[in-house]
Structure 1
Amino acid sequence: MGATNLRRLAKDVLGPAFGPVSFVAAFRSAFGIPIDVLQRALAWQGFNSGGNVISDEDFTNLLADWINDPEGK
């Protein structure tokens, strides 16, 4: 499962409790992704945060070094 699908799964499981802080905590805990990388990932279009937005592909590629993702790096 790639980063995009994992993020959607976490949101489905946690419901309204899933937001930027829980994303960072869950992905840091589960995959050991550095905080600076997770901060960049918060710009993903799936978070609807406005400003500088990154695509699903950019989100997946950014996290691919830590998540076994056949579509990533």
Structure 2
Amino acid sequence: MGHYVIRVKGTLSRELTANFPSLTADRESAQTVLHGHLDDQAALAGLLNHLDMLGVDIIEVLQVPQDDHRPADD
């Protein structure tokens, strides 16, 4: 489906972010940024629901273009 960036309030522990193996977690001051590829809308909804059930405050969800490093067609 696409590459997503999900910004949440607070610093998530390594144990918690291990629940999302398809995402990378970058810890920033008072925030954690999860990013990675999700296969479909159901995967995104499931991830957001899981974060909500854990009581994590979601600040932002962005779908970003995938940089596939292919040369442009002439």
Query: Please, what TM-score do these two structures have when normalized by structure 2?
Result: 0.29
Higher strand share: 2
Higher helix share: 1
Q: Which has the higher contact order (CA 8 A, sep 6+)?
A: 2
